[in-house]
Amino acid sequence: MKRARIIYNPTSGREIFKRSLADVLMKLEKAGYEASCHATTGEGDAIEAAKIAVEREYDVVIAAGGDGTINEVVNGLAEQKYRPKLGVIPTGTTNDFARALHIPRDIDAAVDVIIQNDTIPVDIGRMNDHYFINIAGGGRLTELTYEVPSRLKTVLGQLAYYLKGIEMLPSIRAAEATIEYDGKLFEGEIMLFLVGLTNSVGGFEKLAPDSSINDGLFTLMILKKTNLAEFIRIASLALRGEHINDPNLIYTKANHIKVKSPVKMQLNIDGEYGGLLPAEFSNLYRHLDVFVPIDQIRDQDKLIE
């Protein structure tokens, strides 16, 4: 019999998962799983819960929550020799990872994806000692994702990020940075840099329109120094995926990236605070097997078989 461990965040998004838990367990049992669950208690707890699931040799770990919870579960799995397959039930405010993999937001439908039993190997990012699933980066605006209070997200959802973004705009400053990527070098003043694995970030579904989830490459974006008006213009282009040819932006693919700066620059990793520069990024090629709706994925050119 296969065993599945659900690791869920009871506080994520609009706090809806708890009500469905009994149905989810029953559904998995009917599909032939022996299923059990762990409710996370706070920051970092999903990392430990995932490590325990590895020790206990579960076949499948199911992360139910937002990107923060999935990130923690992946951090618990990434360094292990034996890595259970990963299922995702997206119940957060932002569910970029699930969106990139076409995993439905409906709880029942997301469980169906796991039961259908199709997985694909997905790339995972490493920044210094931490792992990420969507995006990492640095620069003042990237602080936006963790400056939005969780209660505001519960009430307003995505809108909370936009409001905070507008509030932060006037305080964005350029900073000197040196970025090495696959043997190339950029030196100069930047507004921000982003290292993305998937195409979708915080509602910007076309931020990296050509990214593949399993090609072993990051999409690296470096936004050079601009004035505020230019910055807003490029951000609005980014909403439509039309920023990639803008002369203010370096948009490229890379497997290994090193960033440093003479000034203090904060890092962001999957929407959380990630320490300060310097940072070194590597792409772990096809590191985790994730349950996906395979037919929908196959129709996209993002999957390299």
Ligand X SMILES: Nc1ncnc2c1ncn2[C@@H]1O[C@H](COP(=O)(O)OP(=O)(O)OP(=O)(O)O)[C@@H](O)[C@H]1O
- Which residues belong to the active site? 272
Q: How far apart are CA 5 and CA 15, in angstroms?
A: 19
Shortest distance, CB of residue 60 to ligand X, whole angstroms?
Answer: 19
Q: How far apart are CA 88 and CA 138, in angstroms?
A: 27
Nearest to 6 by CA among 67, 69, 55: 69
Residues forming beta bridges with residue 218, ordered by sequence position: 254
> Rg of the chain's alpha carbons, rounded to an integer?
19
Looking at beta carbons only, is 94 or 212 nearer to ligand X?
Answer: 94
Shortest distance, CB of residue 130 to ligand X, whole angstroms?
Answer: 12
The bridge status of strand 33-39 relative to strand 60-65 is unpaired
Residues forming beta bridges with residue 5, ordered by sequence position: 36, 61
Looking at beta carbons only, is 90 or 138 nearer to ligand X?
Answer: 90
Q: How far apart are CA 158 and CA 235, in angstroms?
A: 16
Shortest distance, CB of residue 132 to ligand X, whole angstroms?
Answer: 12
Residues forming beta bridges with residue 63, ordered by sequence position: 7, 88
Q: Which residues of the chain form contacts with ligand X (CB under 6 A)? A: 9-13, 40-43, 45, 65-69, 72, 92-94, 150, 153, 271
Shortest distance, CB of residue 190 to ligand X, whole angstroms?
Answer: 25
Classify residue 152 by burial, with Cβ atoms within 10 Å: 0-12, 13-18, 19+: middle
Looking at beta carbons only, is 39 or 284 nearer to ligand X?
Answer: 39
Shortest distance, CB of residue 299 to ligand X, whole angstroms?
Answer: 26
Phi, psi dihedrals of residue 13, rounded to the nearest 5°: 50, -130
Q: How far apart are CA 203 and CA 270, in angstroms?
A: 13
Residues forming beta bridges with residue 208, ordered by sequence position: none
Looking at beta carbons only, is 35 or 88 nearer to ligand X?
Answer: 88
Looking at beta carbons only, is 97 or 281 nearer to ligand X?
Answer: 97
